[in-house]
Structure 1
């Protein structure tokens, strides 16, 4: 099983769901934290500094350690990976290399005009690329 984790509320909900699934299926979990440098660089006009890069990598490692630790606290064997690239490319590559049958990913519902602007949700691109892989998309509960 593969969990895509970035520390957001949606990713935390996906972590909870992944924990339940892995316990029910007696499956180990690969946790991937993606550092998307291309998008970050584009958003800052191509001026991403070394300091910003280091900060993004350190944040990814901390959030990854948190997720792996929470899974371990529940008795789930988990392995963490920090990877660099676009999330859809990184996840697709991990699935091709390691062959998990289930990918768990968090999703934030967009409202208003933001539904029409911005990038397409990652889980839709993954569904097209990863035929035969179950993709569990988790939305955080509205409180």
Structure 2
């Protein structure tokens, strides 16, 4: 079945649901597991607030690494050998690049409800992945997402 899984993780409720489902798949398949956190490029808003870009980048990088380490640790507690990866850029582009680079055969991402305006403005990671992915994709829609439950630890 699947031998190389890539789980995209951002610490959000949707990301945690994808992490849980991806772990289930990895355990069932005995798959090599990779966890990817993507930092988006800095916006001009930081400059308007007088905060230096390198300061913001360092803060965001530290937070992204903590989220990534949390996810890798969670996977390892379940007996998986997980490797963490941190990337900077647009999420869909970085997921696709990483999937190709690592020879991934299943990408697992969480679904986040967005308004039509937000989807038009920011784009849809899921739609981009569906159009361009080199492998299968599992888009996890969680009951927590639909119910609006608060985010929490993956378990």
TM-score (norm 1): 0.88
Report the aligned-residue RMSD.
1.6
Tell me the distance in 1 between the aligned counterparts of 2:64 and 2:142.
20
Q: Which of the numbers 118, 123, 131 marks the counterpart of 1:120? A: 123
1:1-143 to 2 correspondence within 5 Å?
Answer: 1-37=5-41, 40-42=42-44, 44=45, 49-110=53-114, 114-117=115-118, 118-131=121-134, 133-141=135-143, 142=147, 143=149
Structure 1 spans left out of the alignment, 5+ residues: none
Structure 2 spans left out of the alignment, 5+ residues: 150-155
Closer, same or farther: CA 134–58 of 1 in aligned 2, 3 Å: same
CA contact (8 A) 2:46 2:53 kept: no
